Amino acid sequence: MYVIAVYDVRAERTGKLLKLCRRYLTWIQNSVFEGEISPVRLKELKIEAKKLMVDEDSLIIFSSREPRWLQKDVIGHERNSTDNFF
Amino acid sequence: MYVIAVYDVRAERTGKLLKLCRRYLTWIQNSVFEGEISPVRLKELKIEAKKLMVDEDSLIIFSSREPRWLQKDVIGHERNSTDNFF
* Cα B66 to Cα B44: distance, rounded to the nearest angstrom: 20
In a domain, A81, yes or no: no
> Does B56 map to a domain?
yes
What pLDDT score does A86 carry? 42
Alpha helices in chain A (DSSP H): 11-24, 39-52
> Which range marks the domain in which residue B48 is found?
2-67
Give B84 to chain A, closest Cα distance, Å: 15
**Number of domain units in chain B:** 1
At residue A9 the predicted structure's pLDDT band, cuts being 50, 70 and 90, is very high
Query: Above 80 in pLDDT, residue A80?
Result: no
Burial of A71 (C-beta count, 10 Å sphere; 0-12/13-18/19+): middle
A32 in contact with B at a CB cutoff of 8 Å? yes
CATH number reported for the structural domain that contains residue B35 in this entry: 3.30.70.240
B84 band by pLDDT with thresholds 50, 70 and 90:
very low
**B63-80 per-position pLDDT tens digit:** 999 888 999 999 998 877
Q: How far apart are CA A17 and CA B57, in angstroms?
A: 23
Residue A28 has a pLDDT of 95
Q: Is residue A85 a part of any domain in this protein? A: no
Distance from B66 to chain A by nearest Cα, in Å?
A: 8
The answer to whether position A78 is within a domain reads: no
Name the packing angle between helices A39-52 and A11-24 (round to 10°): 160
Are A46 and B72 inside 8 Å of each other by CB?
no
Please state the ipTM of this predicted complex.
0.86
* CA distances from residue A3 to A16, A67, A71, B8, B31 in whole angstroms, order as listed: 20, 8, 12, 19, 18
> Which chain A residues are closer than 8 Å to B55 by Cβ?
76-77
